[in-house]
Chains A and B, each alone.
Chain A
């Protein structure tokens, strides 16, 4: 490599150079599928017969489709109900790990990561054993304890099933979130803490007043990726009951809905329109979250 000149202005082209491999590969592998989905969203196509352009009809249907809105609400609710406790648990854990000497810290952290490794298929079966049927483990215990109303038909209850999906999502991801937040904390110069503690700040004050503002980029990262991933939730609800989101569509997420419209009902054009709609919504949510979190500190763009 030739030595670059000392002129600082010239350096900016290295920015392009360094991000170029990403964009070249993205252009090859990522762009076409996305553009093809957008193209399909303007078509009527059952997967086998030739395509037929129908303009905006799919989108006209989309904006009046009650099931689409229901699925969006389901997805958002399930996401929010697992994101908040997940952040809460991760912040508490990272605070504990940062301000206390905890024996076996590495062991705990590794163990908390384990649920993330179990595939969705086995999660579905496991939780069915626990809750499906009058003789399921949960009902066995509740009946044994003489709880009034037991045995319960857990999977006939929309709120229960939806809550269970949120719990499973929380359970699968809180360890990961903890690892990420701790990664954020290490980027803080430890001198900052020493100064604060010398000034007589309590650990709690140090954490909320110093640590949290300083790890804002990590928190933003966590929130945005969680929105993006959470709004595309598919496997756990699809394997927990059936792919229709029973009972009564209470866990039908938007990704499940578009999968059904495509591969079950063979409305691929409409399924693509749902994809595009979901994409736009995720983008809007992400921008809103970014704006809300950036406002206070303005640290994001260094």
Chain B
């Protein structure tokens, strides 16, 4: 009897999880399957099984753009950007979380406000700025802002203020550790799970950035993945097969990054059941 009573909610729970799993995986699966179908098939029916047009799609895709070049370009931007957001995000968050100084709240307010301006029109100012800095047709305008990533600061500030006891810092100071060393040797390793969580998110956001690279880059060979995907689609929306193949290719590194970083990501903790 008790067994049944315990099993029922458990079954319900798994049913719920599996429902969400289907909602998440099926559309994703459709994208991958569409990469193997011809454009006409894609726009006219819902394809559930792999097709035979992969090679054809690949040829179309490569005739429009050099996708691997775009892939490399996107990596060239996203990897250093992500690393910056992780390290400097934690550093800035640590400064805000653990030190008291004049104007702290105002400065933190500025951090938050920096996320609130819609990017659509400010892209004009962004172009002019990079023109003046002589950074057009370079990747710096996309890499360096990783140092000033407000989302990471906001998130990690909460994590650090909760999980790093001030006594830990005091102890390190008594042992003669410099403030910088305390951060690098003690604080940063402790918050790595939080940093990694943010990094995955930032990597995806950077990898999918379309408008910025389109405006700043005027050389096809410097275009990033999302810009190339938009180019493949074409003026008359006729290259869907090639477009889906490119999307499938562009998702691969994100999955790799996710799997690789999952080991470090916060796993949550399981309470009760196994005790």
Q: Do chains A and B touch in the complex (CB under 8 A)?
A: yes
A197 to chain B, nearest CB (A): 6
Give A290 to B192 CA distance when docked, in angstroms. 26
Interchain CB contact under 8 A, A186 and B267? yes
Stretch in B18-26, B58-66, B67-75 with 4+ CB within 8 Å of A: B18-26
Give A110 to B160 CA distance when docked, in angstroms. 25
Interface size of A in residues (CB-CB distance below 8 Å): 107
Chain A residues lying within 8 Å of B158, measured Cβ to Cβ, are 184, 217-218, 220-221
0 or 1 for each of A116-144: is its CB under 8 Å from B? (1 = yes): 11110111011001100000010000000
Query: Quick one: which of B118, B123, B230, B267 has the most chain A CB within 10 A?
Result: B118
Chain B residues lying within 8 Å of A110, measured Cβ to Cβ, are 258-259, 262
**Could you say which interface size class chain B belongs to?**
35 or more
Give A76 to B16 CA distance when docked, in angstroms. 28
Where chain B touches its partner, the secondary structure class is helix
Give A37 to B43 CA distance when docked, in angstroms. 40
Chain A residues lying within 8 Å of B42, measured Cβ to Cβ, are 125
Chain B residues lying within 8 Å of A182, measured Cβ to Cβ, are 266-268
Chain A residue at minimum C-beta to C-beta distance from B182: A14
Evaluate whether A114 and B25 lie within 8 angstroms (CB atoms) in the complex, with A3-B176, A186-B266 already known: yes
A185 sits at the interface (CB 8 A): yes
Partner of A125, one of B28, B163, B229, B240: B240
B204 sits at the interface (CB 8 A): yes
Chain B residues lying within 8 Å of A4, measured Cβ to Cβ, are 178-179
0 or 1 for each of A273-302: is its CB under 8 Å from B? (1 = yes): 001001100110010000000000000001
B31 sits at the interface (CB 8 A): yes
0 or 1 for each of A257-272: is its CB under 8 Å from B? (1 = yes): 0110011000010011
Chain B residues lying within 8 Å of A279, measured Cβ to Cβ, are 113, 116-118
Evaluate whether A115 and B28 lie within 8 angstroms (CB atoms) in the complex, with A3-B176, A101-B273 already known: yes
Chain A residue at minimum C-beta to C-beta distance from B164: A187
Partner of A126, one of B31, B115, B250: B31
B107 to chain A, nearest CB (A): 7
Give A266 to B269 CA distance when docked, in angstroms. 53
Chain B residues lying within 8 Å of A126, measured Cβ to Cβ, are 27, 30-31
Interchain CB contact under 8 A, B116 and A1? no
Closest 4 CB pairs of A and B: A15-B99, A36-B125, A18-B95, A217-B158
Extra 18 A-B pairs, beta carbons < 8 Å, given A112-B20, A255-B118:
A3-B176, A3-B178, A17-B179, A18-B91, A26-B148, A40-B124, A99-B272, A102-B13, A108-B17, A110-B259, A111-B21, A117-B28, A125-B43, A184-B162, A186-B267, A188-B162, A194-B275, A225-B155
Q: List 28 A-B contacts (CB under 8 A).
A: A1-B181, A3-B176, A14-B180, A15-B99, A19-B92, A22-B91, A25-B144, A26-B110, A29-B129, A29-B141, A29-B145, A30-B114, A32-B126, A36-B129, A96-B13, A99-B272, A102-B17, A110-B259, A113-B24, A114-B28, A117-B28, A126-B31, A129-B43, A184-B159, A194-B275, A228-B112, A271-B120, A302-B161
Residue positions of B touching A, CB distance < 8 A: 10, 13, 16-17, 20-21, 23-25, 27-28, 30-31, 42-43, 45-46, 88, 91-92, 94-101, 104, 107, 110-126, 128-129, 133, 141, 144-145, 147-148, 151, 153-155, 158-159, 161-163, 173, 176, 178-181, 183, 193-194, 197, 201, 204, 208, 226, 229-230, 233, 240, 243-244, 247, 250-251, 254-255, 258-259, 262, 265-275
Residue positions of A touching B, CB distance < 8 A: 1-4, 6, 11-19, 21-26, 28-30, 32-37, 40, 89, 92-94, 96-102, 105-106, 108, 110-119, 121-123, 125-126, 129-130, 137, 171, 174-176, 179-180, 182-188, 190, 193-194, 197, 203, 206, 214, 217-218, 220-221, 224-225, 228, 232, 234, 254-255, 258-259, 262-263, 268, 271-272, 275, 278-279, 282-283, 286, 302
